[in-house]
Amino acid sequence: MALPPHAQDWMNRAEIDYIGPFVKAWAAFNAWYRQASGEAQERAMLNYVVSNANSQLRRRGLPLFRADNNTVESITLKQAIGDLHIRLDAIHLEVTRKNGLAERVSLREVCLRPFNLQNECRDRNRQEYRARKIVGGAIEITVTAQASGLVRFQHTQPDYNPAEVYALPAFVANLSDAQQLNLRQFYDGCNPRPMTDLVLGGGPQLEAGSVVLQCTPADLLAGLVETIYTMRNALLHGEVDPDPLVLACYEPAYRIVMTFLGCVR
């Protein structure tokens, strides 16, 4: 039997909106890592949080991911991680990066180690494969015969987009099959935002509620900080719709950040 209107109204009022608590929790976390890191750039601050041996979160947080840690704090954190994955996995939440490309917010696709592409080069079978940043931030890709200096292939693109390169007629017409394969392997390795799958990553197994993750504790810590930081940015930049399924993702994110705060008190 359906609920009467007044009962439905009371039930709606009883539902907790975690957006406010999440923002406040992240503000406290942000204040901690800003002071603890001593860095001026946000990216450097986040790198300190997850990578520096002196990071209090890293020292106290990594043990909570151990499979044999059965403390209340560890179990609570693992349950929140599982809930976050399930809720993000049930939707397709996307954010837009500065280059205009869309990325999904998911523990299946997390950029743990951004790559600073400047001037990369590889020699293979007497060919030089090079990708370099040029004036204005565009990327120039060239394949040059080392013996003659002949440029077999050259293309400039405003942002990293390998699919565009491999679809060019000159890619097929000017390069042999072996050279095409070499350029693909080289340029794929220049990805500024390589993605890691924390769910099927092939690492040690970790039970997180009803979810089994396959990643190292260090990668999981880095992935959680990166994912929740992206969720925070999406919220503050107006990219989040008031969709109940989207808003529900912020409840486990709030619980995770509160556990992080407990580690650094």
Beta bridge partners of 17: none
Cβ-based neighbours of 44, under 8 Å, separated by 6 or more = 37
Q: 116 near 190, Cβ under 8 Å?
A: no
pLDDT tops 90 at residue 10? no
For the cut 80, the answer to whether the pLDDT of residue 98 exceeds it is no
**Res 12 pLDDT > 90:** no
- pLDDT at residue 102, as a whole number: 87
Report the distance separating Cα 78 and Cα 83, nearest Å: 9
For tokens 């619980």, the residue is 255
pLDDT at 14 over 70: no
Is the separation of the CB atoms in 122 and 129 below 8 Å? yes
- Least trusted range by pLDDT, from 18-27, 238-247, 253-262: 238-247
Q: What is the pLDDT of residue 142?
A: 98
CB-based contacts of 249: which residues, under 8 Å, 6+ apart? Answer: 84, 87, 88, 91, 93, 231
Q: Exposed e or buried b for every residue in 89-98, given b needs 16+ CB within 10 A?
A: eeeebebeee
The residue-averaged pLDDT of 53-57 equals 96
pLDDT in tens, 169-178: 999 999 999 9
Token readout for 95 is 């954010």
Please give the average per-residue pLDDT across 27-45, as a whole number: 96
Give the pLDDT confidence score for residue 101 in this predicted structure: 79
Q: Lowest mean pLDDT of 4-8, 41-45, 62-66, 132-136, name the range.
A: 4-8
Model confidence band, residue 11 (pLDDT cutoffs 50, 70, 90): low
**pLDDT (mean) for 3-27:** 79
- State both tokens at 258: 């509160």
Which residue is it, tokens 């002071």? 35
> What does the pLDDT read at residue 87?
97
**Cα–Cα distance between 198 and 213 in angstroms, integer?**
6
The pLDDT confidence band at residue 24, using thresholds 50, 70 and 90, is very high
Residue with tokens 């390589």: 194
Output the pLDDT for position 126: 96
**Per-residue confidence (pLDDT) for residue 201, from 0 to 100:** 87
pLDDT digits (tens, 9 = 90+) for 120-167: 999 999 999 999 999 989 999 999 999 999 999 999 999 999 999 999
Q: Name the pLDDT band for 1 (thresholds 50, 70, 90).
A: low
pLDDT tens digit string along 182-216? 999 999 999 999 999 999 988 899 999 899 999 99
CA distance 196 to 230: 15
Say what the pTM is.
Answer: 0.85
| Percent share of the chain, pLDDT over 90 | 82
Confidence of residue 114 (pLDDT cuts 50, 70, 90): confident
- pLDDT band at residue 15 using 50, 70 and 90 as cut-offs: low
Cα–Cα distances in angstroms (integers) from residue 120 to residues 7, 186, 192, 222, 241, in the given order? 64, 9, 12, 26, 40
Q: CA 174, CA 168: separation in Å to the nearest integer?
A: 10
Residue 7 burial (10 A CB sphere; 0-12, 13-18, 19+): exposed
Which letter does DSSP use for residue 15 in this model? S
Q: Which two tokens stand for residue 35?
A: 């002071």
Q: Would the pLDDT of 13 be above 70?
A: no
